[in-house]
Chains A and B, each alone.
Chain A
Amino acid sequence: MNEGIGRDAGIFLVAGLCGIASGMFGIGGGVLLVPLLGLLFSFSQHRAQGTSLVALIPPTGALALVAYARDGFVSWRTGLFLIPGVFLGGIVGGKLAENLQPRRMRQVFAGILFALGAWQAFSAWWR
């Protein structure tokens, strides 16, 4: 793998793009970062996923959260109840990923995302 300023700068730029999506849609950005690290920088799937998790450890959405909170768009109570489950589930998922064939699983997930996205767009604009 070629180390160097160019690669670093490229990763930084791609992450910035993922960040814009993160702030616009209130997500972590990993869902974009993982495939892009793989497609553009030839990370292996497991390595892309592990690296994406590093990027999610510091509060990268903090500035965006402040902007949403200022406008009253945060349900603190629901958030607090969701956090422990997500944390524990993450450990289970990490263990499962060691043993599973990740390709099939990712295809299933891509299918679910596609359906979910189409449904959201449909119910927003055509209902």
Chain B
Amino acid sequence: MTIIILLLGLGVGVLVGLLGIGGGVVLVPAMVYLLRMDQHLAQGTSLFILLPPIGLGALREYWRQGQVDLRAGILCALGMLFGAYGGSLVALPIPSRHLQGLFGCFLVLSAVLLWRKAELKSKGRR
């Protein structure tokens, strides 16, 4: 089981660097299905993993190429700090079953947004 967890982390990490995301979006369903966790427990554990700066190594690679808007990044961090607390207060009283369903809807929405971004990019400038 420990081996599975270590490998899962490595796989998610590659996505973190490739896509500039936190990885929780993949970790949560992976923990629910592979590790048989309850939805709330998977979400709480995912937040714990995001606590240390796991994206630091990936960030260094982007920084070296000048692909970082520091000012916008700091603003985003501030907004997310407070937003996340509000979101957790909403989620905790929701029954696990419904939370899992909502999570699924959220993933579908994110997928559509990501896809749209990819489409626009292909039509516009490189």
Binding site for B on A (CB under 8 A): 8, 11-39, 41, 43-65, 67-69, 71, 73-76, 78-79, 81-98, 100, 102-103, 105-107, 109-111, 113-114, 116-125
Contacts and interface: CB of A to CB of B under 8 A. Distances in A.
Main secondary structure of the interface of B (DSSP, over half): helix
B111 A111 contact: yes
B79 A14 contact: yes
B48 A65 contact: yes
A91 B57 contact: yes
Contacts of A14: 76, 79
A20 B83 contact: yes
B31 A90 contact: no
Contacts of B22: 22, 27-31, 56
A20 B84 contact: yes
Main secondary structure of the interface of A (DSSP, over half): helix
Nearest to A54: B73
B69 A73 contact: no
The 7 A-B residue pairs with the shortest CB-CB distance, nearest first, are: A28-B22, A89-B13, A19-B83, A93-B17, A85-B9, A49-B20, A26-B43
Given A34-B20, A46-B67, 16 more contacts: A23-B47, A24-B88, A27-B27, A30-B19, A52-B21, A64-B85, A73-B44, A74-B41, A75-B45, A86-B12, A89-B12, A89-B16, A91-B57, A106-B118, A119-B29, A124-B101
Interface residues of B, number: 106
B79 A19 contact: yes
Contacts of B42: 26
Contacts, number: 458
Contacts of A100: 18
Given A46-B67, A60-B81, A39 B61 contact: no
Contacts of A98: 61, 65
Contacts of A65: 44, 47-48, 51
B4 to A, nearest CB: 9
A67 B63 CA distance: 33
A18 B80 contact: yes
B33 to A, nearest CB: 9
Interface centre among B42, B56, B81 (most CB of A within 10 A): B81
